[in-house]
Amino acid sequence: MPEATALQIGESFVGEGVNAAHINTVLGDRNGPAGTAWATALASPSAGHVPFVAVLRPSLPVKPLTLFVTKAAPTDDAHGTLIWGPAQAGVAAGVADAVADGVIPESSTDSVVLIAAVWVNPGADDADAVYLNNRAATAAALSNGAAGEPTIDRVIQARHRPANPFYTAPE
């Protein structure tokens, strides 16, 4: 049996405005807590949040097997299409990029699983931007997780002025 993979947790935010992507990733051994969480989430959908396996094409799931979990329930058909279409394609391509770039070793792609929690803004309106931002954010989140980013020094430095696209703390 292959050696267990340490649980890697990553995060990335790419883009601006309604078409930005915010990805959280959990990568770990199929036989460990990540595998248990993956299977449990797939078998336990909730109203508006139906996890599914990300595919590069129909019947071609990306490896490692990736569970796509929406952070925002689809608000209408157009929003659902952006989730199931360009966001899913971006996540799958970002995972494949991480494997091609060696962030995830090819030798581990059958022994680990990935959970990708994905934010698609209900106001998103550009399928290509949604795709590109989710692809870049997924690859970056996986790279951050593999590298143990952020460092604690960066966290401590940023603590006095936290900021995100929706709020910046006063100085």
**77-118: per-residue pLDDT in tens?**
999 999 999 999 999 999 999 999 999 999 999 999 999 999
Is 22 catalytic? The answer is yes
Any alpha helices (H) in the chain, and if so which ranges? 33-43, 77-82, 88-100, 127-147, 152-158
With respect to residue 125, please indicate whether it lies within any of the assigned structural domains: yes
Q: Which domain holds residue 134?
A: 8-160
With respect to residue 168, please indicate whether it lies within any of the assigned structural domains: no
Residues above pLDDT 70, as percent of the chain: 97
With respect to residue 171, please indicate whether it lies within any of the assigned structural domains: no
Residue with tokens 């930005």: 20
With respect to residue 3, please indicate whether it lies within any of the assigned structural domains: no
The answer to whether the bond into 64 is cis (omega within 30° of 0) is yes
Confidence of residue 38 (pLDDT cuts 50, 70, 90): very high
**Distance (Å, whole) CA 42 – CA 3:** 25
**Is a pLDDT exceeding 60 seen at residue 15?**
yes
**Is a pLDDT exceeding 80 seen at residue 1?**
no
In 3D space, the residue among 89, 45, 96, 88 whose CA is nearest the CA of residue 68 turns out to be 88
With respect to residue 2, please indicate whether it lies within any of the assigned structural domains: no
With respect to residue 109, please indicate whether it lies within any of the assigned structural domains: yes
**Distance (Å, whole) CA 34 – CA 69:** 14
Which tokens in the block code for residue 81?
A: 């299409």
Q: What is the number of structural domains in the chain?
A: 1
Decide if 97 contacts 63 (C-beta within 8 A).
Answer: no
Instruction: Say what the pLDDT of residue 48 is.
Output: 82
Q: Which helix (H) or strand (E) holds 26?
A: strand 21-29
**Distance (Å, whole) CA 99 – CA 105:** 6
**Distance (Å, whole) CA 99 – CA 114:** 12
> Could you give phi then psi for residue 80, rounded to 5 degrees?
-60, -40
Beta strand 52-53 with 66-70: parallel, antiparallel or unpaired? antiparallel
The CATH number for 79's domain is 3.30.230.60
With respect to residue 75, please indicate whether it lies within any of the assigned structural domains: yes
With respect to residue 91, please indicate whether it lies within any of the assigned structural domains: yes
Average pLDDT of span 10-39:
97
Average pLDDT of span 134-154:
97
